[in-house]
Amino acid sequence: MKAWHVYILSCNDGTLYTGITNDLPRRVTEHNEGTASKYTRVKLPVKLIYSERKVSRSAALKREAEIKSLPRSEKIRLCRAIPGAA
């Protein structure tokens, strides 16, 4: 069973995008090719700055909602709390 990932991207305009996937490298590539979401399509390139593994899609969706509800400053703090993250 494939793990799910919650991820945060830093967009070229300085905004942050949060999403989920079960194939993180593929999804980041899709974002940078402009085929993953309308939001990131016009904010290229994007850079992966954070990810968390989750055991199920349901758990990933729940965590995605939690992260999306955080203010920008807390999202940035979350990304910086992980060694090697931006």
- Those residues whose C-beta lies under 8 Å from the C-beta of residue 3, and which sit 6 or more positions away, are 22, 53, 54, 55
Residue 50 located in a structural domain: yes
Write out pLDDT tens, residues 12-30.
Answer: 999 999 999 999 999 999 9
Contact between 78 and 72 (Cβ < 8 Å)? no
What is the model's pLDDT at position 2? 82
Does residue 85 belong to any structural domain of this protein? Answer: no
Total of domains in the chain: 1
**Tokens 């990131």, located at residue:** 40
Residue 86 within a domain: no
66: containing domain: 4-80
**pTM of this structure:** 0.90
CATH number at residue 49: 3.40.1440.10
Sort 9 into a burial class: Cβ within 10 Å, 0-12 / 13-18 / 19+: buried
The pLDDT, as a whole number, for residue 31 is 96
Residue 39 within a domain? yes
Cβ proximity of 80 and 28 under 8 Å: no
Q: Which residues in the chain land under pLDDT 50?
A: 84-86
